[in-house]
Structure 1
Amino acid sequence: MENSRRTFLASISMLAAYSAFPINAFNFGLSKKLRVVLVGTGIRGTSFWGKRLVDEYSDILEFVGLSDINPGRLKYGKEYIGTNCPTFIDFDKMLVETKPDLVIVTTMDSTHHEFIIKGLEFGCDVLTEKPLTTNENKAQAILDAERKSNKNLIVGFNYRWSPYNTKIKEIIASGAIGKITSVDFHWYLNTYHGASYFRRWHGIKDKGGSLWVHKSTHHFDLLNWWLDSDPEQVFAYGSLEYYGSNGAFRGDNCRTCEYKTSCDYFYDITKNKRLMDLYVANEKHDGYIRDNCLFRKEIDIYDKMSAQIKYANNVTVNYSLTTYSPFEGWRIAFNGTEGRIEASLDIPYDKKVSINQAEMHAKEMEQNTLEEANSESIIVHKLWNDFDTVEVPFEKGGHGGGDKRLHDKIFKTPNTEDPYERAAGIRDGVMSAIIGIAARKSIESGDPIKIKDLTDIKPMPNRNK
């Protein structure tokens, strides 16, 4: 048991920020399982950071507490995760009574900082879902708290761990197209996945920081990791032109809406027992509606977004996010001094196939299963030569296979050297969220935003030097 636990602790040290931490940085001096608490018993918390840990890693860890502001979700979460640990409405009380080693934070984005800081101050290491936080002041407070605590913060970035994204990193690092000079990156959310954000609390800027932060932090982290550099300046455009008050009609929620037979976006949550048990059954406790109207007037985030990002190594990136595309997928192109890399996933007409977008969304949101999907291509162009096609085995579900691999690295193979440096810590969390924060501020001010003005982390041309 002790060897298993030491293995787990060593794995967390590999997920710390850029500073090198000794293997014993997480040595709590205990001979028992790692004591874990989780705050936020929503869909991601109860599944990926809850049930899956119990199912796969109970030999080295145990949940000693769960916390949520909603007592109904808390009760359901305990049953779904499969733990006998006590539950708490009061997070502070949970820390005092359970004395955990590790705090996992999966609450609403705007509250991440509160629980991260409390966990660090209490003397715990903290693992948080992305995004790290939603504004620059909260980011700085987290940075300050980690430095004072002598503890560490892990950010759960999973896209880095997908085989396809890892292969892109490998090709870039090999120097196949020379020095990268510019990037075009475009992400398309379909009318199932994209709409779902506006149906939930993510549609309110004060809660999710807008999709610039909640969703795009994934994409910005990939860029930072692929380019091995920090963002230096951001200029952005964005507006709300499709969802929210732009709709011709609206209702209280989809279940009771008088327009359910005529609205293209009608969503029947009653067909999903898990969501009914987790959310609908517990609306009475906090008023949170999971199948809210996409066209309610309180929505204030952007549904059309475009940004130009200048990196400290002089790479320029053109980025866009579309939230009402007919299909879900993405394209990226890296231009270099010796060629060009083109990569894309799930663009239906690229392979001349018909994809059921509703089923695709369900697969991608599935937390625990993977489905083999043959392979996907990456095109590598060399100046003065024909292009080469690199085939990469690909998986559907769990963020392209990244979810499972992230957990396996933490819990099963922590001591295996990772040449791609996929582990993400506090600096990664700040530098990914801060691009979206800067984009939001640029739209509001009409000016380019310098990253160095937002926190005390200064952009570096090469993050490994």
Structure 2
Amino acid sequence: MDDDNQPATVTGRTRYALCGLSVRGISVFAGPLLGRPDRPPIAPDTAPYADAGELVAILDRDADRVEQYRVAVDAKVPWYSPEQFDRMVTETRPDVILVATPDHTHVDYVLSGLTAGLDVIVEKPMVTSAEDAARVIAAAQDSPGTVRVTHNLRYAPRHQRLRQLIADGAVGRVTSVELVWNVGARHGASYFRRWNRTRARSGGLSIHKSCHHFDLVGWLIDAVPEQVFAYGARNFFGADSPHNPGRELTAAERTEADPYRWYETASAADAGPVRDSVGLSYPDQYPQRLSAYDPEIDIEDTYSVVVRYRGGASLNYSIQFSAPWEGYRLAVNGTHGRLETDLYYDVEPLPPAGSTPITHYPLFGAGRAYPVDGEDTGHLGADPLLVADLFRPTGDDPLGCRADAQAGAYAVAVGEAVWRSIKDNRPVNIADLLRTEAGG
């Protein structure tokens, strides 16, 4: 702990310790309690939940980054290094551990928090393997602490309306779901320029990114995944990419010749420390900009997946991480009709986010369109609702938006089943991965 910073005093508010001062760690966890470092702030109130909770510690490997943040928000929160977790708990006495570190380290902090008898709130994915997911479930059963996973897509107004329509019987018994998700080229390339690009650190994008989507579908139709079959490949990135400018070029020349630079601002390819969307640098983790064509990249960038659920429903899912536009096309079919919706992220000439409705086509009768409002804030309007439910929750959760350890485990297990199915060219049972009789 810093010598010049003492633990926060007891105030009666919920006490939080943050593990990982990442962009998400700031926007979802630290920012609501202390404020955002960017100016002007994204929200009019820079610390809207300071009355409900206090951040009593920050654990992160990058002391310089933590100091940048503390100066930016004028906060004296004690800093701890990763090996000082137990000391942090003893000295600052948190009620809740917040986890927003790189994916492969989530399991360590989740298990340490549960061992200490504390509640844990962890960014998605909960962990990066089904084996670790099973460890978390077992630890949660033996601890007075709880686990909550911030699967924020459950909070998007569009998805909450869909969930309610399905629960109300708009399509009868669900028979199948169709989900095509496109990740725009700029966004997709970013995963291959940072730690996400290796399976050892992210679990692959079928876990890191697609767990969002697998959790969303399972929650929408209230069904447990049983079996997965998938195809996938690395088509756009890595050393064999058709867009690779050439290994013989210098790093600067490759950056200049990279066709993905078309999607970047002029400053995005500049030399110097990488800065995030809130203006802080990563001098420790990212001393130089990585190439999306490096040979160490070992994960897929394209997936086609079929998931079977208990009760007979199935999901047909595809995603690519280098699309000309970002968004999705979603349909839910049932014995009594179909629900459809599309979403595009402000890509001309496609309609902007918030302008496409949910359309209900009953099997017998006229269709009806349901407009969607509230998508003009982070992650389709989900983030403000998620943050409110984290730091100032009510007793009610009628749509089941609060994802627990079991939900987090299913999302990870489906993602792992995807890459294992691709590798072995066979269907993979979720129960086998989670070592349970029926997956849970």
Determine if the TM-score, normalized by the shorter chain, exceeds 0.5.
Answer: yes
For residue 228 of structure 2, the aligned residue among 234, 245, 263 is: 234
Q: Which amino acid is 2:361 matched to?
A: H
Larger helix percent: 1
Partner of 2:14: 34
Any residues of structure 2 matched to 1:315-394 within 5 Å, and which?
315-346=313-344, 352-353=349-350, 375-394=355-374
- How far apart, in 2, do the equivalents of 1:115 and 1:253 lie? 41
Partner of 2:419: 440
Unaligned runs of 5+ residues in structure 1 are 1-29, 356-372
Contact 2:153 2:159 in 1 (8 A): yes
- Point out 4+ residue stretches in structure 1 off by more than 6 angstroms: 251-254
Any residues of structure 2 matched to 1:53-452 within 5 Å, and which?
53-54=33-34, 55-80=47-72, 82-89=74-81, 90-247=84-241, 248-249=244-245, 257-266=252-261, 267=264, 268-269=267-268, 274=276, 278-280=280-282, 282=283, 285-286=284-285, 288-289=286-287, 291-346=289-344, 352-353=349-350, 375-415=355-395, 417-452=396-431
- How far apart, in 1, do the equivalents of 2:153 and 2:249 lie? 32
Shift of 1:93: 2.4
Contact 1:38 1:105 in 2 (8 A): yes
SS across alignment from 1:308: strand
TM-score using structure 2 length: 0.86
Q: Which amino acid is 2:209 matched to?
A: K
Shift of 1:145: 1.6
Structure-2 change in CA distance of 1:263 and 1:374 (3 Å): closer
Contact 2:23 2:278 in 1 (8 A): no
Shift of 1:220: 0.7
SS across alignment from 1:321: strand
Contact 1:376 1:393 in 2 (8 A): no
Q: Which amino acid is 2:357 matched to?
A: S
Structure-2 change in CA distance of 1:265 and 1:173 (3 Å): same
- How far apart, in 2, do the equivalents of 1:119 and 1:176 lie? 41
Contact 2:354 2:376 in 1 (8 A): no
Of 88-97 and 164-173, more deviation after overlay is shown by 88-97
Q: Which amino acid is 2:207 matched to?
A: V
Shift of 1:302: 0.3
Contact 1:376 1:394 in 2 (8 A): no
Q: Which amino acid is 1:72 matched to?
A: D
Shift of 1:419: 2.3
Contact 2:344 2:351 in 1 (8 A): no
- How far apart, in 1, do the equivalents of 2:354 and 2:220 lie? 24
Structure-2 change in CA distance of 1:397 and 1:339 (3 Å): same
Contact 1:239 1:304 in 2 (8 A): yes
SS across alignment from 1:392: coil
Structure-2 change in CA distance of 1:241 and 1:179 (3 Å): same
Contact 1:375 1:394 in 2 (8 A): no
SS across alignment from 1:176: coil
Of 78-87 and 335-344, more deviation after overlay is shown by 78-87
Structure-2 change in CA distance of 1:212 and 1:259 (3 Å): same
Q: Which amino acid is 2:339 matched to?
A: I
Contact 2:16 2:55 in 1 (8 A): yes
Structure-2 change in CA distance of 1:128 and 1:295 (3 Å): same
Structure-2 change in CA distance of 1:221 and 1:80 (3 Å): farther
Instruction: Give the count of matched residue pairs.
Output: 408
- Aligned-residue sequence identity (percent) comes to 32
Q: CA-atom RMSD, angstroms?
A: 2.6
Shift of 1:291: 3.4
- How far apart, in 1, do the equivalents of 2:249 and 2:324 lie? 23
Shift of 1:252: 12
Contact 2:33 2:55 in 1 (8 A): no
SS across alignment from 2:357: strand
Q: Which amino acid is 1:443 matched to?
A: I
Over residues 113-171 of structure 1, what are the superposed CA-to-partner deviations in whole Å (9 max), with x where a residue is unaligned?
Answer: 00110111122111100000111211111112212222101111111111101111111
TM-score using structure 1 length: 0.82
- How far apart, in 2, do the equivalents of 1:289 and 1:397 lie? 31
SS across alignment from 1:51: helix
